Amino acid sequence: MPRLEETFAALRAQGRAGLVTYVTAGDPDLDRSAQVILALDRAGADVLEVGVPFSDPVADGPVIERAAERARAAGGTLATTLDLVARVRPAVRAPIVLFTYVNPVLAMGEGRFAARARAAGADAVLALDLPLEEAGLFRRTMASAGLDLVFLLSPTTTDERIARAADLGSGFLYAISRLGVTGARDAVPPAARALVERIRRRTSLPVALGFGLSRPDHVRQVGRFADAAVVGSALVSVIAEAAASPELIPRVEQFVRRLREPGDGRTEAP
């Protein structure tokens, strides 16, 4: 069974919502990025999103944009991201989703990218600026390499497109909690739940909700209606603040454990 499918099946069996974490590959540098990914897995993240550093991340807010800049300054590229995945894969339990803009993939060649990503042990790909309409060939290439393709769905996405994304996507669907770029926020907007429910009516694929989630109570709240909560910018901020400190790895681990602790309570009283 593909690793993502297995992970979400296990979460359902346990009656628990998952935690998906995002970090940018190579932030603050390749070695420590490898250690960060191992720490996330140790701390119990259920799915690991690994971002490919890109020069023009239009869908990202300043926190992840800065992370891409740090990673690029340390030599990070799509190729080093794939090497990084290959390096950590043997020691990591969680499925790994490559989070990327489409141009680096096109520059490598879609076929070559798919083969290398698979060989490195990646499980899925999410291309931020590749909407359904442009994804036909890309999806076939990923599928024939055995990679899941994850689509983002937004509050602006129509029901008809949700159905198509459910058709074309696999692994899980990623719901965006609100309009806007990535970046930590104080609260989970009420519309998030409505979107997840709208998606659920059209698919049995697992749904992860992300964008803006930053605290344990957000994760707990989202866990009540989605299969998983995604935490990105808040985690990336922890890395940014501790980048120069020997405490980097313990802090990352502690941050994720704290996110998770109350997160087991899908059945917990509100």
**Could you give the residue numbers annotated as active site?**
49, 60
The verdict on 83 binding another protein (CB under 8 A) reads no
Query: Strands, E, within the chain: which ranges?
Result: 18-24, 47-51, 96-100, 124-127, 148-149, 152-153, 173-176, 207-210, 228-231
The verdict on 134 binding another protein (CB under 8 A) reads yes
The stretch among 3-11, 31-39, 61-69, 139-147 that binds another protein (CB under 8 A) is 61-69
**Stretch 181-240 residues interacting with another protein (CB under 8 A):** 181
Smallest distance from another protein to CB 161, Å? 7
Helical packing angle, 78-88 and 110-120, nearest 10°: 20
Q: Which of 105, 125, 142, 150 binds another protein (CB under 8 A)?
A: 105
**Stretch 156-185 residues interacting with another protein (CB under 8 A):** 156-158, 161, 176, 179-181
Cα 89 to Cα 237: distance, rounded to the nearest angstrom:
24
DSSP bridge pairs for 228: 18, 208
The tokens for 1 are 């069974």
Q: Which of 12, 35, 42, 59 binds another protein (CB under 8 A)?
A: 59
The stretch among 5-13, 39-47, 72-80, 222-230 that binds another protein (CB under 8 A) is 72-80
Smallest distance from another protein to CB 30, Å? 14
Looking at residue 5, its amino acid is: E
216 backbone dihedrals φ, ψ, rounded to 5°? -55, -40
The tokens for 75 are 């030599």
Residue among 8, 74, 3, 86 nearest 50 (CA) = 86
Chain positions contacting another protein, by CB under 8 A: 54-59, 61-62, 65, 72, 77-79, 102-108, 128-131, 133-134, 151-158, 161, 176, 179-181
